[in-house]
């Protein structure tokens, strides 16, 4: 598939190379195509780089991997137009500036707010519950990390479940997009365990089954 990853930070950079390893053509994108950070991240991952508006036009799947606070700056009119009908994987989390709390929850979620900004896109919430440090290593301690996938479009959700499974995660259908309200606090628990309790960033969730 043609895949665009918007965001050249820890999450976007970590997603790019594994997707290429599956045989997809990946473009790492940002609002500034000449950004040294974007160019360096694309070089390390071995992918193309482009402006976000250009990258999304040809993409079948777009990963939105920018800070939650950067949504409005990222989703310009041109970018939103290019995302019409596209599967958009929202990887954002509404973390506070110190990463130690969430800025929204209970009655809405980052996933729902992304969908509100992209009413003609097929928004799916996924990959936000995985620490950036382990996105390229889906198996931890001999077990696959859980990858909950929430969304209202069954076909779009299946595309993301299949991608997650091929990447090596235990990808499961987590219900409608409103369930992003439960998935986003999950990563805050990982942050608290990893940094507050000193377990480090090589941790993740596993779904035990009888």
202, part of any domain: no
Compute the average pLDDT of residues 69-85: 96
209, part of any domain: no
For residue range 87-112, list pLDDT tens digits in order. Answer: 999 999 988 888 888 888 889 999 99
Compute the average pLDDT of residues 177-183: 96
| In the chain, alpha helices (H) | 10-21, 36-45, 52-58, 71-74, 77-82, 110-117, 154-167, 180-191
DSSP designation for 198: S
For residue range 81-91, list pLDDT tens digits in order. Answer: 999 999 999 99
Compute the average pLDDT of residues 75-79: 96
For residue range 135-147, list pLDDT tens digits in order. Answer: 999 999 999 999 9
CA 13/CA 9 separation, integer angstroms: 6
29, part of any domain: yes
Compute the average pLDDT of residues 182-190: 94
CA 28/CA 5 separation, integer angstroms: 5
Average pLDDT of the residues of the chain: 95
Residues 6+ apart with CB under 8 A from 178: 109, 112, 150
126, part of any domain: yes
Share of the chain above pLDDT 90, in %: 91
21, part of any domain: yes
Compute the average pLDDT of residues 112-133: 97
What pLDDT score was predicted for residue 103?
87
206, part of any domain: no
Number of domains the chain is built from: 1
What's the CATH code of the domain at 162? Answer: 3.40.50.720
For residue 184, pLDDT beyond 90: yes
| β-bridge partners, 166 | none
210, part of any domain: no
At residue 158, the 3 state secondary structure works out as: helix
What pLDDT score was predicted for residue 98?
86
CA 40/CA 46 separation, integer angstroms: 10
What pLDDT score was predicted for residue 32?
87
What pLDDT score was predicted for residue 210?
93
Residue 3 backbone phi and psi in degrees, to 5: -125, 135
205, part of any domain: no
Which domain does 144 fall in, by range? Answer: 2-195
């Amino acid at each position: 598939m043609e895949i665009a990853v918007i965001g050249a930070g820890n999450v976007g950079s970590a997603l790019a190379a594994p997707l290429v390893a599956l045989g997809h053509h990946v473009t790492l994108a940002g609002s500034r195509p000449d950004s040294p950070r974007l160019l360096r991240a694309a070089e390390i991952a071995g992918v193309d780089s482009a402006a976000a508006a250009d990258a999304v036009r040809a993409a079948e799947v777009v990963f939105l991997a920018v800070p939650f606070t950067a949504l409005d700056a990222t989703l310009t009119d041109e970018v939103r137009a290019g995302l019409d009908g596209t599967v958009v994987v929202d990887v954002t989390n509404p973390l506070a500036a110190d990463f130690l709390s969430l800025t929204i929850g209970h009655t809405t979620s980052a996933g729902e707010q992304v969908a509100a900004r992209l009413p003609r896109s097929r928004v799916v919430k996924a990959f936000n519950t995985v620490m950036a440090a382990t996105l390229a290593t889906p198996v931890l301690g001999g077990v696959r990390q859980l990858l909950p996938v929430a969304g209202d479009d069954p076909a779009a959700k299946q595309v993301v479940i299949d991608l997650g499974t091929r990447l090596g995660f235990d990808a499961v259908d987590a219900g409608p997009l409103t369930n992003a309200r439960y998935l986003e606090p999950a990563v805050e628990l990982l942050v608290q365990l990893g940094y507050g309790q000193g377990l480090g960033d090589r941790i993740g969730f596993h779904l035990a089954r009888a």
